[in-house]
Amino acid sequence: MKKTKAIRSSKLKYYGAILALLVASSIAARTQDAKIPPDVEKLSAKAKETVEVTMDGPMLHWASKFLSADDPEEAKCAKLVANLKGIYVRSFEFDKDGAYSTADVEALRSQFRSPTWSRVVGVRSDHDGDNVDIFFKLENEKMAGIVIIAAEARELTYVNIVGPLEVDQLADLGGEFGIPKLSRRSLSKAEKGDHK
């Protein structure tokens, strides 16, 4: 009797441990592959201006149908997004330095410290405090995604692109000009569309 109870108890512990491990790894996997980590969304409350783009596979491919082959910019974008599965961007602009903390950025970076992600660039600039981290996701030794976290004095940007892409081509799209002022007006025009 005592032996049966002992065996049952140890079996319960064993299965309990397995279950806990499965749950934990599931949570970890979901977090690692979270398109927009929860920590990112919290930052919009502090931001003066937020640019949000969330496009999963079907939306991405539908949008890319409207890229014109006659326009060199758009043709290049079409080629870039052909095999992508999603693009997720959050870019926050703040009205003063120090509006977000190092801990906020570190919480973001920690999401991508795992076997499936490799940090390929980590730049810390003493001149102006700008920091940029670039992570590649590898699957079967092939690139399956990229995450960019750019922390500047009054701007914090998170980009997650899911799918294989040519990084040089993507960088070319940013150009040597840097970024235009992306205001709510630019995005709201895109959101509003041309409905009459």
90 burial (CB, 10 Å; 0-12 / 13-18 / 19+) is buried
Q: Using the structure block, give the residue that is written with the tokens 């940013």.
A: 174
Order across the sheet with 131-139: list the strands: 49-56, 86-93, 155-162, 142-151, 131-139, 117-124
Q: How far is the CB of 32 from other proteins (least distance, A)?
A: 20
- Integer Cα distance of 39 and 37 in angstroms: 5
* CB closer to other proteins, 142 vs 192: 192
Q: Residue 78 is encoded by which pair of tokens?
A: 């079409």
- Of 40, 43, 91, 137, the one binding other proteins (CB under 8 A) is 91
- Of 34, 67, 143, 144, the one binding other proteins (CB under 8 A) is 67
Question: How many residues bind to other proteins according to rule CB under 8 A?
Answer: 62
* Sole window of 10-18, 103-111, 135-143, 149-157 interacting with other proteins (rule: CB under 8 A): 149-157
* 35 near other proteins, judged by CB under 8 A: no
* 127 near other proteins, judged by CB under 8 A: yes
End-to-end CA distance of the chain: 80
* 36 near other proteins, judged by CB under 8 A: no
Q: Where are any strands of DSSP class E within 47-141?
A: 49-56, 86-93, 117-124, 131-139
Binding residues for other proteins, rule: CB under 8 A, are 51, 53, 55, 59-60, 62-67, 70, 72-74, 76-77, 80-81, 87, 89, 91, 121, 123, 125, 127, 130, 132, 134, 146, 148, 150, 152, 157, 159, 161, 167, 170-183, 185-187, 189-196
